[in-house]
Structure 1
């Protein structure tokens, strides 16, 4: 039994923060399910940009779709949905065995819609309907416009992975949107069981302050932020408001730790997995981190329900001049900008490959996988 099995026994789900056609066609993803207790996965524009740019596994599909006249976002969604529906089918037995708690995959709405709630709601509904998979989340950022879209999408019955959350306050805003959506469904006589997770980004905190605080504080801020959010999560789950919804048949919006690959080469490569072990949560991790944790990770206990030393650690950062609230806003904005850039890069590589592959065929030398 390796450390991933220990986390599974603790009650924490491990999801892979990656999706490539190679993972699917080689059986690697299936092996991760079997050997490392992986029970879901997430995707984002950066992941797909790297997968399409750095392999030729998508070239035949790009060529065929370009020849049909498809381009840009429409072509990309064909590629992404082909991968994610296959992955969703692989995780379906887990989804069914856990009554919809686990076994999810995620697809993000266009990052260009980050400030447009109406368009986000429309695209979320379209993507979910098109996928035709009960275990596919639509990722919506927890920005001010995103919070509006989250409530409306939950009310519409669309499962949502809330992304780009960086603080307790941002998490609570997303959780409240989820609750309102479920409450509206109950009032309307609809099924209150709509899946959702809320994703707290962790390592980006430590990257942001590394050169601004004493070395003794390095790699402690993200974990403290996560601990504070975990306390809020545990308190929400015992609140009268939530208990009423649970009694009506609703499932909790689970807390998910994102951005948990170690960025500091001086820190342990399993730092965030070991620190964020907690029941009824999810940790979504890159392949490199998954393999490292399975090889030499340890599980030494569970995160304290009351947040442990979070407030003491955060006070030390405040004393060092870190404005946690301002930084949370900055990180969310930068995260949205980063995904928008990756989206642009993704559209560019698809356009470039489309042109090259079509040109190659017209010259009599079509490129194959």
Structure 2
């Protein structure tokens, strides 16, 4: 049995952290679904920057849309929605079979809106309506300004993938926002079933401290922080407040492990995947990590769900001078800035291609 299949049977969903037209046109994504137990897909500005800027697969579409007078964000979102609609259709059988628990794809609002609550709400509603797929999440950052947008989007019936979470505290804020949105729907007599996941980023923790901690602590902080969040997740799901919304028909907001490809060349490719094997969670894997995991034997060891299993590691990092709270805030700011940088590079690439293709024509 492949490790990917064993993780699926443990109750963890494996989603691909990538999208390109070639991936779908070649049948590779369909093969990942059939052979590697992939049941969803995520995208972000960096992924689209590489997909569009690094290939000619989008050139004809860009040419046609440019001729129609489209440019910038408007042109990009048409390209992205076309890709994600096609991916959503590939995953639709999974979505239907699991009654909406799995089979999702994700599209992110403009990263330039990370600190704009009203703008994020408007964009989330617009993109969800335009995509017209029930199994498409709108990604909203879990920044202080993004949290109220998450609540409002859920209340409006827009499925949300909360992105850019880096700590237990940030995760809990995102979970509370989802809960408030659902409770408002219940109070208004509306269907409480609105999909949502909360994405905690892992590997960036270890990149941030790799030159600041003893060798024995390298590549361990992301796992320890994830453990903290996982314990909080399990406790919240068992709380009376959450049980009430489940009883009313609401879905569980699943915890999602993001950025699980190892950045340290000395670390095993499947390091984070093995450490974060947990039921009722999602792991989004870069393509290279997915392939590496598929070569492993079956994984049966599950992630501990007790805080004592992570406290000693966090104490060791504190003794090494790592302020986890301050670093989580820094990583969230830097993550938003990184996506904004990729966004600007993406739009510049589209503009450059538009001009070149118009001239060639």
The superposition leaves residues 107-158 of structure 1 with CA deviations (integer Å, 9 ceiling, x where unpaired) of 0000000111011000000000000000000000000000010000000000
Q: Is residue 238 from structure 1 mapped to residue 262 from structure 2 by the alignment?
A: no
Aligned to 2:102: 102
Output one character per residue of 1:75-128: Cα deviation in whole Å (capped at 9) or x when no partner.
001100000000000000100110100000000000000111011000000000
1:296 deviates by: 2.4
**For 1:25-40, what aligned pairs fall within 5 Å after superposition?**
25-40=25-40
The match for 1:365 is none
Distance 2:76 2:240 in 1: 44
* Divergent runs of 4+, >6 A: none
Q: Counterpart of 2:292?
A: 292
Q: Structure 2: which 5+ residue stretches go unaligned?
A: none
**Stretch deviating more after TM superposition (231-240 or 299-308):** 299-308
Q: Offset of 1:304 from its aligned partner?
A: 1.3
After TM superposition, give the deviation of residue 297 of structure 1 in Å: 5.4
For residues 160-210 of structure 1, the C-alpha deviation after alignment (integer angstroms, 9 at most, x for no partner) is 000000000000000000000000000001000000000000000000000
Q: C-alpha distance in 1, partners of 2:107/2:172?
A: 23
In the TM superposition, what are the counterparts of 1:158-307 in structure 2 within 5 Å? 158-296=158-296, 298-307=298-307
Per the alignment, residue 151 of structure 2 pairs with: 151
Tell me the number of residue pairs that the alignment of Structure 1 and Structure 2 aligns.
361
Are the aligned partners of 1:162 and 1:197 in contact in 2 as well (CA < 8 Å)?
yes
Residues 227 and 308, structure 1, Cα contact 8 Å, conserved in 2: no
Which secondary structure state, in structure 1, belongs to the residue aligned with residue 329 of structure 2?
helix
Task: Describe the SS at the equivalent of 2:305.
Answer: coil
Distance 2:318 2:94 in 1: 43
Q: CA–CA distance in 2 between the matches of 1:242 and 1:70?
A: 45
Partner of 2:329: 329
Q: 1:299 Cα shift?
A: 1.3
SS of the counterpart of 1:15? strand
Q: How far, CA to CA, are the matches of 2:273 and 2:73 in structure 1?
A: 34
CA deviations over 1:336-360 (Å, ceiling 9, x no partner): 0000000000000000000000000
Partner Cα distance (1:203, 1:297) in 2: 23
Structure 2 distance, partners of 1:115, 1:240, is: 32
Contact conserved, 1:203 with 1:263, CA < 8 A, in 2? yes
Decide whether the 8 Å contact of 2:10 with 2:300 is kept in 1. Answer: no
Q: Residue 5 of structure 2 contacts residue 298 of structure 2 at CA under 8 Å; is this kept in 1? A: no
> Retained in 2: the 8 A contact 1:193–1:250?
yes
Structure-2 separation of matches of 1:154 and 1:296: 38
Q: For structure 1, which runs of at least 5 residues remain unmatched after alignment?
A: 362-369
TM-score normalised to structure 1 length: 0.97
The answer to whether the aligner puts 1:319 opposite 2:324 as a matched pair is no
Which residue is equivalent to 1:357? Answer: 357
Alpha-carbon deviation of 1:255? 0.3
* Native 8 Å contact 1:230 1:305 kept in 2: yes
Do residues 8 (structure 1) and 11 (structure 2) align? no
- Superposition deviation, residue 307 in structure 1: 3.8
The aligned counterpart of 2:127 is: 127
Are 1:84 and 2:77 counterparts? no
SS of the equivalent of 1:212 reads coil
Contact 1:270 1:297 survives alignment (8 Å):
no
1:306 to partner: Cα distance: 1.6
Do the aligned partners of residues 297 and 284 (structure 1) sit closer, same or farther apart at CA in structure 2, a change above 3 Å counting? Answer: farther
1:72 aligned residue: 72
What is the CA distance between 1:298 and its match in structure 2? Answer: 4.7
Distance 2:290 2:272 in 1: 11
